[in-house]
């Protein structure tokens, strides 16, 4: 994978499989949450902070505090989708991300995710690790 700056939008290709759809071949609404989660995971990995590094090195994990999603058009069986992650705001222990699911450049769904950094052992809020904060530099 190529290295991206913190301001760049990360995009993950995701195929809609049979297990993601109903009998009519339409992707379930809840499956979009799985797609968004997968893209966030890979985005962190590309930044050098996969789950294992966060836990082992920084004793930190991210938990979702709030999430809102809007659906505009359905994704269908076998569609090749792009799921994006764009960091929007960084607080002491939180990060706000904008995410989209697109097919051929058309937005099918978009969401805003508020994640909180918590101690892996305590599950209490903690500061976003400094090296990750530095990678995300320039965020309000």
Catalytic annotation on 121? no
Task: Tell me which of 22, 34, 104, 121 is the catalytic residue.
Answer: 22
- Give just the sign of the alpha carbon dihedral 83, 86, 91, 93: positive
Tokens encoding 5: 């700056």
- Give just the sign of the alpha carbon dihedral 129, 131, 135, 140: positive
If you ran DSSP here, which 8-state letter would residue 24 be given?
Answer: T
Task: Read off φ and ψ for residue 24, nearest 5 degrees.
Answer: -90, 0
Yes or no: say if 139 and 89 are a contact pair by the CB < 8 Å rule: yes
List Cβ neighbours of 24 (8 Å cut-off, separation of 6 or more): none
Yes or no: say if 1 and 13 are a contact pair by the CB < 8 Å rule: no
Q: Which residues are catalytic?
A: 22
């Amino acid at each position: 994978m190529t290295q991206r700056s913190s301001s760049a939008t990360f995009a993950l290709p995701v195929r809609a499989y049979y297990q993601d759809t109903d009998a009519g071949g339409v992707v379930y609404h809840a499956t979009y949450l799985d797609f968004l989660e997968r893209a966030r995971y890979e985005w962190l990995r590309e930044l050098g902070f996969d789950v294992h590094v966060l836990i082992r090195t920084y004793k930190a994990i991210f938990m979702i505090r709030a999430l809102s999603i809007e659906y505009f058009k359905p994704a269908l069986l076998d569609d090749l989708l792009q799921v994006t992650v764009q960091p929007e705001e960084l607080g002491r222990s939180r990060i706000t991300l904008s995410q989209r699911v697109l097919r051929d450049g058309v937005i099918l769904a978009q969401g805003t995710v508020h994640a909180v950094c918590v101690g892996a052992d305590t599950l209490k809020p903690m500061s976003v690790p400094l090296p990750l904060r530095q990678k995300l530099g320039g965020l309000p």
